[in-house]
A and B are shown apart, each in its own frame.
Chain A
Amino acid sequence: MENFLGLPLNASANGAEIDRVLILVHWLIFVLFIGWSIFLVVVLIRFRKKKNPKASYAGVRNRTSIYVEIGIALFEVILLTGFSIPLWSKRVNDIPKEQNATVVHIVAEQFSWNIHYPGPDGKFGRTDVHLVSDDNPLGLDRNDPNAKDDITTMNDLHLPVNKPALIYLSSKDVVHSLSIPVMRIKQDAIPGQVIPVWFVPTVANNDSMPTYDIACAQLCGLGHYRMRGYLTVQSQRDFDEWIKEQEASLAQSQ
Chain B
Amino acid sequence: MENHETQISKPKSRLIFLSTDHKTIGILYGFTGLLFLLLGFSIMMLMRWQLAFPGQPIPFIGSWFGQDRAPGGIMLPEFYNQLGAMHGTIMVFLGVVPIVVGAFGNYLVPLQIGAPDMAFPKLNLMSYWLYVLGGLCALSSFFMPGGAAQSGWTSYPPLADIATTGQTFWLIAIIFLALSSMLNSINIITTIVQLRAKGMTFMRLPFFVWAQFITGFLLLLAFPALEAASVLQLMDRLAGTSFFLPSGLVVSGQPLSVSGGGSPLLWQHLFWFLAHPEVYVLILPAMGIVAEILANNTRKPLWGYRSMVYATIFLGFMSFIVWAHHMFLTGMGTIISGFFQATTMIISIPSVVILLALLISLWGGSIRFTTPMLFALAFLPMFGIGGLTGLPLGLTISDIPLHDTYYVIGHFHYIVAPGTVFAIFGGIYYWFPKLTGRKMNDVLGRIHFAGSLVFMNGVFFPMFILGLAGVSRRLWDGGAQYQFAQHVLHWHEFMSISAWLLAVFQIPFIVNLFWSIRKGKKVRENYWDATTLEWAASSPPPHGNFFPLPEVYRSPYEYSVPGYAEDFLPQNQFFGEGLKIKEKG
Contacts and interface: CB of A to CB of B under 8 A. Distances in A.
Given A25-B398, A190-B331, A33 B384 contact: yes
Given A56-B560, A187-B331, A217 B159 contact: no
B392 A60 contact: no
A182 interface: yes
A69 B400 CA distance: 27
Nearest to B488: A6
A26 interface: yes
Interface stretch (A86-94, A116-124, A158-166, A241-249): A86-94
Nearest to A37: B381
Interface string B64-80: 00000000000011100
B388 A85 contact: no
B544 interface: no
A69 B353 contact: yes
Nearest to B329: A188
Interface string B225-266: 000000000000000000000111111110110000001110
Given A40-B380, A55-B365, A72-B352, A83 B395 contact: yes
Contacts of A91: 397, 400
Interface stretch (A142-150, A221-229, A232-240): A221-229
Nearest to A39: B359
Interface in A1-53: 5-9, 17-18, 21-22, 25-26, 28-29, 32-33, 36-37, 39-40, 43-44, 47-49, 52-53
Given A55-B298, A56-B300, A76 B77 contact: no
B341 interface: yes
Given A59-B361, A92-B334, A223-B77, A84 B397 contact: yes
A139 interface: yes
B548 interface: no
A211 B157 CA distance: 32
Query: Which of A65, A73, A216 is most buried by chain B, counting CB atoms within 10 A of its CB?
Result: A65
A211 B484 CA distance: 11
B366 A49 contact: yes
A129 B248 contact: yes
A225 B477 contact: yes
Contacts of A110: 251-252
A59 B469 contact: no
A96 interface: no
Query: Which of B84, B264, B479, B561 is most buried by chain A, counting CB atoms within 10 A of its CB?
Result: B264
B397 A21 contact: yes
Contacts of B481: 225-226, 228
Contact of A88 (B158, B264, B337, B385): B337
Interface bin, chain B: 35 or more
Contacts of B333: 92-93
A207 to B, nearest CB: 14
Contact of B81 (A21, A192, A219): A219
Interface in A188-220: 188, 190-193, 195, 209, 211-213, 215-220
B585 to A, nearest CB: 11
B253 A137 contact: yes
A28 B339 CA distance: 22
B264 A224 contact: no
A185 interface: yes
Nearest to B254: A132
B126 to A, nearest CB: 35
A177 B465 contact: no
A59 B300 contact: yes
B87 to A, nearest CB: 13
A59 B158 CA distance: 55
A58 interface: yes
B403 interface: yes
A79 interface: yes
Contacts of A175: 156, 158-159, 264
Interface bin, chain A: 35 or more
Contact of B401 (A83, A85, A184): A184
Nearest to A15: B401
A174 interface: yes
A215 B472 contact: yes
A18 B76 contact: no
B349 interface: yes
A47 B359 CA distance: 13
B567 A55 contact: yes
Nearest to A65: B356
A192 B359 contact: no
Contacts of B156: 174-175, 218-219
B559 to A, nearest CB: 6
Contacts of A92: 332-334, 337
B364 interface: yes
A80 B561 CA distance: 45
A195 B434 CA distance: 58
Contact of B364 (A37, A53, A59, A213): A59
B357 interface: yes
B158 A191 contact: yes
Contacts of B475: 224-225
Interface string B293-326: 0000011110110000000000000000000000
A250 interface: no
Given A25-B395, A85-B337, 20 more contacts: A18-B400, A18-B401, A21-B398, A47-B364, A49-B367, A49-B368, A55-B299, A57-B559, A59-B365, A65-B353, A69-B349, A76-B391, A85-B334, A92-B334, A181-B470, A192-B264, A193-B265, A209-B483, A225-B475, A225-B481
20 contacts: A22-B402, A32-B388, A39-B359, A47-B365, A47-B366, A58-B364, A59-B363, A65-B304, A69-B352, A73-B349, A80-B341, A80-B342, A84-B341, A91-B397, A132-B250, A173-B256, A186-B329, A192-B263, A213-B483, A219-B151
The 8 closest A-B pairs by CB, nearest first: A192-B246, A181-B470, A56-B364, A174-B159, A225-B476, A217-B404, A55-B300, A225-B475
Interface of A: 5-9, 17-18, 21-22, 25-26, 28-29, 32-33, 36-37, 39-40, 43-44, 47-49, 52-60, 65, 68-69, 72-73, 76-77, 79-80, 83-85, 87-89, 91-93, 109-110, 129-130, 132-134, 137, 139, 172-175, 177, 179, 181-182, 184-188, 190-193, 195, 209, 211-213, 215-226, 228
